[in-house]
Amino acid sequence: MKVTILMSDTGGGHRSVATAVESALVTEKPEISVELVDGLLDYSPYPLNRLPDWYPTIITRFVVLWRYGYLLTDGPVRAQMLNLLSRPFLRLSVHRFVEQHQCDLLVSTHPMLVSSILDGLDVNRPPFVTVVTDLVTAHAWWFDKRADLTLVPTEAARVKALECGIAPELVQVVGLPVSESFSRTLNKKLAREKLGWDTSTFTVLLMTGADGMEPLWDIANALRMSNMSLQLVIVCGRNAHILAELKTLDWPVNTHLYGFVDNMSVLIRGADAVITKAGPSTVMEVLNCGRPLLLCGAIPGQEDGNVNYVVENNLGWWTPYPEDMLARLRLLHGKNTAGFDSVSEVIDKSLITRSASTVASKIIGLLSKPV
């Protein structure tokens, strides 16, 4: 049996969810062959095939246009109209994908790779599963009535799916899939020893997504000048320019600078608190590790709801300005272990665990159904 998972590197979340599902599928049923395909990069016509490369620049420099574009296109009728208008433009690309990736089941973890792909499949198509990677404010592009199953991370996302016409029995809340490495199996002290960090100092991890987006520089500088007694860890992702600039500065505290890493779960487990933007996968990875979460920014549209989700469920704090972030860190530092334990208890009660395994089981269930 073969499963094809569609994703794209517009941000890091779609790939991380796809990878988590892939790993869970192979673990649950090793005989399944799983492939990941970047549908935008490899199969979309210009300029859509440039979106993975342009995405960080668009979000950074044209964020207001992004906000209005998101709002103007979000809605079941508007999404359907745009899909109809784009069909002639995408037809050949979708046909090429279908011809080159024959499989027993298709999974999409990207909103632009749902309706467009379903349009290119004939009546004898394989089962199609949509795994929604936006926690709350999911765009209408995610939801197509033709999908055999739509898996959403929260009840709020399920409500949106129903508003878009998905039948109640075809949409299920399963949480957001994250890698099994984001667990508490490696404790804080062991994680720090593995990384070569100081094991006794209050440690803050700062990251702003796979592309090292703003406001990483401003927050890093605020922490550098804060006179707080801490150990600082900064992950710049693919932003080599910021990494190079940070390396030129004098750091009065013990500071560890990283570019793009593949051991993020270890870094998170080694931290006392994590500062990050409100990307859905990052949010859930931090929560799965049980660490206090300080949100420093959010992409308008798809990430606005993530902030509300975290704050309203007492899973973390919204700290968009450096002074807010520093004030919260000082409170957390002062509370010491008791403060972290109280946050972890709230996370334990709110978190849907083993989501990747649940998604894998749903997919295997569809594969096992007689044709």
DSSP characters for 249-309? S--SSEEEEESS-S-HHHHHHT-SEEEEE--HHHHHHHHHTT--EEEEE--TTTTHHHHHH
Helix (H) / strand (E) element for 19: namely helix 13-28
* Average pLDDT of the residues in 295-324: 92
CB atoms under 10 Å from CB of 2, counted, come to 14
CATH of the domain at 283: 3.40.50.2000
Same domain, 290 and 359: no
Whole domain around residue 97: which residue ranges?
A: 2-175+353-368
pLDDT at 343: 63
* pTM for this predicted structure: 0.92
Same domain, 344 and 358: no
**Helix pair 13-28, 280-288: axis angle to 10 deg:** 50
Same domain, 345 and 361: no
Q: Kindly report the average pLDDT of the chain as a whole number.
A: 91
Same domain, 158 and 245: no
Residue 180 placed within a domain: no
Same domain, 153 and 233: no
Same domain, 112 and 249: no
CB 12 within 8 A of CB 38: no
Same domain, 33 and 149: yes
d(CA 294, CA 274): 6
Same domain, 115 and 71: yes
Residue 335 placed within a domain: yes
* Average pLDDT of the residues in 136-160: 96
Same domain, 145 and 277: no
pLDDT at 186: 78
Same domain, 271 and 147: no
Same domain, 317 and 199: yes
- Looking at the structure of the chain, the number of domains it has is 2
Per-residue pLDDT tens for 194-222?
Answer: 999 999 999 999 998 777 676 888 999 99
